[in-house]
Structure 1
């Protein structure tokens, strides 16, 4: 039986990162001033969208007589179509995301903040947010955001993660955030399966500047974050061209996959401000393809 003091200490250790993650995500989200948003087309809602000429099928009570009095034609107010969507997130929690260089945040830390900040914005806009898999189905509310923060604070003990597609509702939206440096096959499978369900979304690749620059030379030992993979070379500089070619090929493949399945793709570096990536994510999830 676990002693109460030991259990309390363990619980405190597990929950310690949570307030900081929530605070950082909230702060990032508040820099984007967005109110309730509609789907930007006519339909059921309370928000005015546009005036249009009245049609013979329009009821007389729907005519805006004040606007119509300023012209020779009758006009009707169209409202924005406002129906909550379900948006599901997958944020890579594998060991490779723990990599960081210098004083920069780790890829995982940046991914968690961006994923949670995106969820906060979408929740404020009236959407249902959740996580892929079956642990956190899409819902609205602050409690959902808190639960999401708990789950995103966990870490996996594998080198590279793979997207999950379980729990994705037909014609919903999705967001995958990862370095996408592992096996590409699970990513391809997840996107194709999502596309078969009419799911559209965004891929955000997060990389550390060192992974883009490969500033290594001479004797170097490359070790995966779990220590399961290791490669030693006496001439690291000789690997640079091949490495950069493979990285460029991986980006091209991700871009092609996104284009084929109707998704959006972008790369974000941990040395850049997070706000630009958040704005891109929000915009990408708002696009209808």
Structure 2
């Protein structure tokens, strides 16, 4: 996609093409410490709104005591507790059903864009959502990993480990090429999905064929939605360097918005066909909206329909 040259996130004195990948990686590394702090704060603010998943079943951690029911195996009786209560007590353990969620933020050139209608770049919002979701999920006992780049883990430092890897990623891709998630795991991708619809669909199909359930979150700057440009405007494409000068930019608005809607409809239809979900999040909307909606989607039983765009914050 083309953007106004004056609103590119990179300064006019950007390094030559040979150094662009290193320059972009350094930009990501620079913002990650602050993003981790913000992710922790956001995860804390929504913690009270999250529903628990604890239930009795096979596991190692103690959950609760309850009275013995006739017919249960005697091996489940806690004799010490029973003696103090003067009735037979069963020691239940918490059900261990840690789910694996694979995360992937798109850090390619188009994601660096930020307009005057937002205070954050699409890339930074993708990183923030990735870190915050990792924190929330691991606190809930889930396993999170970086798709194709880091094995899943359930400890509290998973988000920091993901940040370390992303901070040194020199060749980012919109969708991981060689990732192979196992069946019954979830994949969450944060991207603007501005690549050819056929390429995005092919990547989704490959991951879905492995048995993974996926969730695409399209992150857009609000200016990409409204296209408010008028008069003479020069647009440039961040990754290819393509430039276009429009004498009257406003005449392109209707065609642009129709093309954007058509792309989204195709992606949403393909996701529904694959059993995946597709949603939209704008960078001028609260992060907590998208985070809560995603957590709900990831912890349901998988039988609900695809998540409507408006339920994840700033949808069309």
Q: Which TM-score applies when normalising by structure 1? A: 0.78
Distance in 1 separating the partners of 2:37 and 2:177 = 27
Q: CA deviation at 1:104?
A: 1.6
With over 3 angstroms needed to count, the CA separation of the structure-2 counterparts of 1:248 and 1:13, relative to structure 1, is closer
Greater Cα shift, 242-251 or 257-266: 257-266
Structure 2 unmatched runs, 5+: 1-25, 78-89, 303-316
Structure 1 unmatched runs, 5+: 1-11, 49-53, 64-75
Distance in 2 separating the partners of 1:281 and 1:21 = 19
Q: CA deviation at 1:227?
A: 5.5
Which residue matches 1:4? none
Q: Which one of 260, 276, 281 corresponds to residue 247 of structure 1? A: 260
Which residue matches 2:201? 188
Q: Which one of 123, 134, 140 corresponds to residue 125 of structure 1? A: 140
1:172 aligns with 2:178: no
1:35-114 → structure 2 map (5 Å cutoff): 37-38=52-53, 43-45=57-59, 47=63, 81-102=95-116, 103-114=118-129
Which residue matches 1:28? 42
Which residue matches 2:164? 150
Which residue matches 2:21? none
With over 3 angstroms needed to count, the CA separation of the structure-2 counterparts of 1:229 and 1:20, relative to structure 1, is same
Which residue matches 2:82? none
Distance in 1 separating the partners of 2:197 and 2:63 = 43
Greater Cα shift, 180-189 or 87-96: 180-189
1:138 aligns with 2:152: yes
1:62-98, CA deviations, whole angstroms, 9 ceiling, x for partnerless residues? 89xxxxxxxxxxxx99987431121111110001011
1:231-280, CA deviations, whole angstroms, 9 ceiling, x for partnerless residues? 22212111111110111111112211221122222101111111101111
Give the 3-state SS of the residue equivalent to 1:32 in structure 2.
helix
1:220 aligns with 2:233: yes
Greater Cα shift, 179-188 or 116-125: 179-188
Distance in 1 separating the partners of 2:279 and 2:146 = 20
1:20-51, CA deviations, whole angstroms, 9 ceiling, x for partnerless residues? 111011111111115794377x7435557xxx
Aligned residues: 260
1:287 aligns with 2:300: yes
Greater Cα shift, 181-190 or 271-280: 181-190
With over 3 angstroms needed to count, the CA separation of the structure-2 counterparts of 1:161 and 1:149, relative to structure 1, is same
**Contact conserved, 1:88 with 1:175, CA < 8 A, in 2?**
yes
Give the 3-state SS of the residue equivalent to 1:271 in structure 2.
coil
Q: CA deviation at 1:147?
A: 1.8
Note the aligned Cα RMSD (angstroms).
Answer: 3.2
Give the 3-state SS of the residue equivalent to 2:103 in structure 1.
strand
Distance in 2 separating the partners of 1:87 and 1:94 = 22
**Contact conserved, 1:17 with 1:153, CA < 8 A, in 2?**
no
Q: CA deviation at 1:58?
A: 5.9
Q: CA deviation at 1:17?
A: 2.6
